[in-house]
Amino acid sequence: MADRSKVKVPKVTPVDLTRLPVKFPKIEIDRTKCTVPFWCKKCLQACPQVVFQVYCKQLLKLKESDPREPGVYEVLPVRRDKCNMCNRCVEICPENAIAVTLQEG
Binding status of residue 26 toward ligand SF4 by CB under 6 A:
no
Dihedral sign for Cα 31, 47, 49, 19, please. negative
Strand-strand pairing, 25-29 and 98-102: antiparallel
Q: Among residues 58 and 86, whose Cβ is nearest to ligand SF4? A: 86
Reference 77, options 104, 47, 105; nearest CA is 47
CB of 68 to ligand SF4, least distance (A): 13
| CB nearer to ligand SF4: pick between 72 and 88 | 88
For ligand SF4, the binding residues in 85-104 under the rule CB under 6 A are 85-89, 93-95, 97-98, 100
89 in Cβ contact with 55 (< 8 Å): no
| Of the candidate residues 8, 12, 15, 43, the single one contacting ligand SF4 (CB under 6 A) | 43
CA 75 to chain centre: 9
Closest to ligand SF4 by CB, 72 or 93: 93
Residue ranges in the chain assigned as alpha helix (H): 37-40, 42-46, 88-92
Complex with ligand SF4: residue 7 or 41, whichever CB lies closer: 41
Pair 89, 79: CB distance under 8 Å: no
Q: Which residues are near ligand SF4 by CB under 6 A?
A: 27, 29, 34, 37, 40-43, 46-47, 49, 51, 75, 83-89, 93-95, 97-98, 100
